[in-house]
C-alpha cells in the first residue's frame, strides 16, 4: 500500500494540506508534529520540518524509520535560477544537489559528498512523471518545469551567488531543504520528488518578492500537491 510522506519547511507550506486531509492521528516526535491520515484513497503522513537541511533530514529520517512511508514528496517554495522560470511557476525535480557542500581540497568536486558515487540525488522517474502529468491535468494554466534543485543553508539573494550556483551546478531553482530530504530518501531507498513553486528570482530583489509572494506561492504549491495526491 502506498503511504506518502509530505514534508514542507514552513507551516504555510503544509497547512492547507492538513486542513483538507482526513486526519486519523497526530503524533509528536522530537520537535516535529506528524499528521497521519488520507488524501483520497492515499495514506499520507504530513509534517512541517523547519527551515534548513538538518531539520529536513531529521523529519525525513523519522518518516522513513517510524512511519514506513513508501514515497516522499517535498513541497514548498524556491528561488528561480532560470530566466524562463518566473514567480508562480512550478519546478519538479529531476535531481538535487548541495550547493554549499565542499571538500574540494581533497579532490572532490563542489557539492560531492565523500563516499557517494554521484554528486546528485536522482528523483524517482515514475513519481516525477506522475506529478508533472497530474499538475498539467488539474492546472493546465500553470507553467511546469523539470530540473535540478540546489539546496543549501543560505537564502540566495545576491546575483553573484546565483550565477555561481548556475555555473557550477546547472540548477533550475534553489532552496534550503530538498537535497537533504533527497539524501535521506536515497539512503532508505524511498522514491522521492521535490515540488517547488517559485517565490523569487534569487537576486537582489528576492527579499522583496519573497515577502510578497511567499504565502501565495507556498499555498499554490500545496494546493497542487493535494490535487495530485487525490488523483493517485
DSSP state of 5: E
13 is catalytic: yes
| 220, pLDDT greater than 80 | no
β-pair type (173-175, 144-151):
parallel
Q: By C-alpha distance, which of 141, 136, 133, 147 is closest to 82?
A: 147
Q: Tens of pLDDT along 27-65?
A: 999 999 999 999 989 999 999 999 999 999 999 999 999
Other CB atoms within 10 Å distance of the CB of residue 11: 11
| CA dist., res. 142 & res. 88, Å (int) | 8
Query: Domain of 31: which CATH number?
Result: 3.40.50.1580
Question: What is the residue whose three cell numbers read 527551515?
Answer: 51
Among the listed residues 11, 13, 95, 187, the single catalytic one is 13
Among the listed residues 153, 200, 204, 212, the single catalytic one is 200
Q: Which helix (H) or strand (E) holds 144?
A: strand 144-151
Statement: the pTM of the whole predicted model exceeds 0.85: yes
Show the domain range for 84.
3-231
| CA dist., res. 174 & res. 201, Å (int) | 10
Q: How many domains does the chain have?
A: 1
> Residue 100's pLDDT band (boundaries 50, 70, 90)?
very high
Q: Tens of pLDDT along 113-123?
A: 999 999 999 99
Q: Tens of pLDDT along 171-210?
A: 999 999 999 999 999 999 999 999 998 887 756 565 555 6
Amino acid at each position: 500500500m502506498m503511504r506518502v510522506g509530505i514534508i514542507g519547511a514552513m507551516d504555510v507550506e503544509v497547512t492547507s494540506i492538513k486542513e483538507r486531509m482526513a486526519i486519523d492521528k497526530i503524533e509528536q516526535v522530537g520537535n516535529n508534529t506528524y499528521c497521519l491520515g488520507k488524501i483520497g484513497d492515499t495514506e499520507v503522513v504530513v509534517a512541517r520540518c523547519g527551515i534548513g537541511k538538518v531539520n529536513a533530514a531529521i523529519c525525513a529520517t523519522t518518516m522513513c524509520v517510524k512511519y514506513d512511508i513508501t514515497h516522499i514528496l517535498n513541497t514548498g517554495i524556491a528561488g528561480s535560477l532560470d530566466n524562463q522560470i518566473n514567480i508562480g511557476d512550478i519546478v519538479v525535480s529531476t535531481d538535487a544537489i548541495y550547493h554549499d557542500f565542499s571538500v574540494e581540497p581533497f579532490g572532490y568536486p563542489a557539492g560531492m559528498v565523500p563516499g557517494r558515487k554521484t554528486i546528485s540525488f536522482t528523483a524517482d522517474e515514475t513519481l516525477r512523471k506522475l506529478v508533472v502529468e497530474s499538475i498539467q491535468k488539474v492546472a493546465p494554466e500553470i507553467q511546469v518545469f523539470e530540473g535540478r534543485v540546489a539546496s543549501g543553508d543560505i537564502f540566495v539573494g545576491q546575483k553573484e551567488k546565483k550565477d555561481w550556483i548556475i555555473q557550477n551546478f546547472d540548477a533550475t531553482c534553489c532552496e534550503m531543504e530538498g537535497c537533504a530530504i533527497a539524501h535521506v530518501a536515497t539512503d532508505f531507498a524511498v522514491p522521492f520528488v521535490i515540488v517547488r513553486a517559485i517565490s523569487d528570482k534569487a537576486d537582489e530583489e528576492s527579499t522583496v518578492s519573497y515577502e510578497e509572494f511567499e504565502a501565495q506561492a507556498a499555498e499554490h504549491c500545496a494546493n497542487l500537491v493535494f490535487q495530485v495526491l487525490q488523483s493517485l
